[in-house]
């Protein structure tokens, strides 16, 4: 699927703190009313980091709302600058945003859908829960957080789902056991997951060991979530014979393109694989943060998605072409 990016100016019309670390923003596009969008949609938002224009991707919360697009941003200590910028905004601030797009496809013919959210991964799950409940599809939401005070949208979700909302707070010794959850699902159930990479890996393993078809596990994660700390690393370009430092707060994709080496991209969220580069050598470790490659491909590390994945140490990559030779 090709992502079309149509940018439009928007205004921050309202903000509210959902938890001490999560702030919701209502963004109203200036040209027209917010258009309807499918479950699992996200928008790109233009942000400014150290005076540099960058883009960040945020899931839309709730089903379509004519008042505007609702996103929620966690203030992340390991932030590359996007959440810091968003939290610096005041009502009335103007931004550039794209129209919503979605890669998530739910099968509306299922009788039971299991939703699993980890932390800020609740954002696309809220709209899915609303859409499923509205269609009278049996839905259960398993929501894992560090502590109950970190859980956003609890009131809305409790009103919507009642006992079918189960919150797991790891500081309350109430941990989500994905193997047990998946084992108890009806045979025709499918699951929609959104959470950090480590949790996604656990979900994929649990789903597989429950003997369920992988196509029935749909998922999203976020590019800021990896298995290794977000730190600077080095990329050696084999053909060009140069080495480039990727700072902790920039993506490999942006740095290589800014240095004049063309790397194609599309989703910029680790979903489409368009930005994948051949990996020749790894002196350190690759932190795959995409959802495009399979577990085996990630283990083999023959390719890396430059838009979200990172590394520790130095990696050597290939198939780059200089922009001035094209
Ligand atoms: S641009 Fe889609 S995975 Fe990187």
CA of 57 from ligand 1 middle (Å) equals: 12
pLDDT of res. 139 = 97
CA of 4 from ligand 1 middle (Å) equals: 13
Query: Which atom of ligand 1 is nearest the CA belonging to 290?
Result: 3
Place of tokens 């932030």: 79
Residues in the ligand 1 pocket, defined by CB under 6 Å: 265-268, 270-275, 290, 292, 305, 307
Contact 83, 74 (CB under 8 A): yes
CA of 167 from ligand 1 middle (Å) equals: 32
Query: Which atom of ligand 1 is nearest the CA belonging to 267?
Result: 2
pLDDT of res. 6 = 83
Query: Which atom of ligand 1 is nearest the CA belonging to 271?
Result: 3
pLDDT of res. 104 = 79
Best residue for ligand 1 mutational test, from 256, 272, 303 (most atoms within 8 Å of Cβ) = 272
CA of 250 from ligand 1 middle (Å) equals: 15
10-residue stretch averages of pLDDT, the chain, 326 residues long: 74 97 95 79 91 90 90 84 92 94 86 96 96 96 95 97 96 91 95 93 94 92 79 93 92 92 88 93 95 89 95 88 44
CA of 232 from ligand 1 middle (Å) equals: 20
CA of 292 from ligand 1 middle (Å) equals: 8
Q: How far is CA 116 from CA 161, 205, 221, 238, 279, in A?
A: 14, 14, 12, 41, 33
pLDDT of res. 325 = 42
Query: Which atom of ligand 1 is nearest the CA belonging to 275?
Result: 4
Best residue for ligand 1 mutational test, from 265, 288, 310 (most atoms within 8 Å of Cβ) = 265
Contact 188, 218 (CB under 8 A): no
Question: What domains does the chain contain, in order, with CATH numbers?
Answer: 7-98 (2.40.30.10), 112-220 (3.40.50.80), 233-325 (3.10.20.30)
CA of 283 from ligand 1 middle (Å) equals: 23
Best residue for ligand 1 mutational test, from 268, 277, 288 (most atoms within 8 Å of Cβ) = 268
CA of 118 from ligand 1 middle (Å) equals: 22
CA of 158 from ligand 1 middle (Å) equals: 35
Query: Which atom of ligand 1 is nearest the CA belonging to 270?
Result: 3
Best residue for ligand 1 mutational test, from 223, 262, 270, 277 (most atoms within 8 Å of Cβ) = 270
């Amino acid at each position: 699927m090709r992502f079309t990016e149509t940018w439009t100016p928007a205004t921050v019309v309202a903000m509210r703190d959902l938890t001490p670390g999560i702030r919701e923003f209502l963004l109203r596009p200036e040209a027209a009313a917010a258009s309807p969008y499918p479950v699992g949609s996200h928008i790109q938002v233009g942000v400014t980091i150290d005076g540099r224009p960058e883009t960040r991707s945020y899931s839309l919360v709730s089903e379509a709302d004519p008042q505007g697009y609702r996103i929620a941003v966690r203030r992340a200590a390991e932030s590359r600058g996007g959440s810091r910028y968003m939290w610096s905004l005041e009502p009335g601030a103007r931004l550039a945003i794209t129209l919503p797009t979605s890669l998530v496809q739910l099968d509306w013919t299922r009788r039971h859908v299991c939703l699993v959210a980890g932390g800020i991964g609740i954002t696309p799950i809220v709209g899915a829960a609303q859409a499923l409940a509205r269609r009278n599809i049996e839905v259960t939401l398993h929501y894992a957080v560090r502590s109950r005070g970190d859980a956003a949208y609890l009131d809305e979700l409790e009103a919507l789902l009642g006992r079918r909302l189960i919150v797991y707070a790891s500081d309350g010794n109430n941990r989500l056991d994905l193997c047990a959850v998946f084992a108890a699902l009806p045979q025709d159930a499918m699951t929609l997951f959104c959470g950090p990479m480590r949790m996604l890996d656990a979900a994929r393993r649990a789903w597989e060991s429950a003997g369920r078809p992988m196509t029935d596990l749909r998922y999203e994660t976020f590019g800021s979530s990896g298995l290794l700390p977000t730190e600077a690393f080095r990329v050696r370009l084999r053909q060009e014979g140069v080495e480039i430092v990727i700072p902790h707060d920039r993506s490999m994709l942006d740095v290589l393109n800014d240095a004049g080496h063309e790397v194609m991209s599309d989703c910029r969220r680790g979903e489409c694989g368009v930005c994948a580069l051949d990996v020749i050598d790894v002196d350190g470790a690759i932190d795959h943060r995409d959802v495009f490659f399979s577990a085996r491909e990630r283990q083999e590390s023959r390719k890396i998605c430059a838009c979200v994945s990172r590394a520790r140490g130095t990696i050597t990559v290939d198939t780059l072409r200089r922009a001035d030779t094209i």
